[in-house]
């Protein structure tokens, strides 16, 4: 198990959290997603090694800015 934490800009409410969680959960290899709009974090648990660029791209497709 591998955990990645992304800091993103633009989540405003619980709806945003759900949207992010649902979208990332469709990615193969993603086990669990916890989004928090208060601190702007998205914690992703992976069950195998996938390129974090794939997750980043998905977040950007949803319209959020991923901070380095």
* Contact footprint for Cu ion (CB under 5 A): 12-13, 15-16
Least Å from the CB of residue 44 to Cu ion: 19
Q: Closer to Cu ion at the Cβ: 50 or 66?
A: 66
Q: What angle do CA 57, 67, 30 make, to 5 degrees?
A: 45
Least Å from the CB of residue 4 to Cu ion: 22
Least Å from the CB of residue 25 to Cu ion: 17
């Amino acid at each position: 198990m591998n955990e990645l934490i992304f800091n993103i800009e633009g989540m405003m409410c619980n709806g945003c959290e759900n949207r992010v969680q649902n979208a990332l959960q469709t990615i193969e290899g993603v086990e669990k997603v916890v989004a928090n709009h208060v601190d702007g974090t998205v914690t992703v648990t992976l069950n195998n090694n996938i390129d974090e660029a794939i997750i980043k791209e998905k977040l950007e497709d949803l319209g959020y800015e991923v901070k380095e």
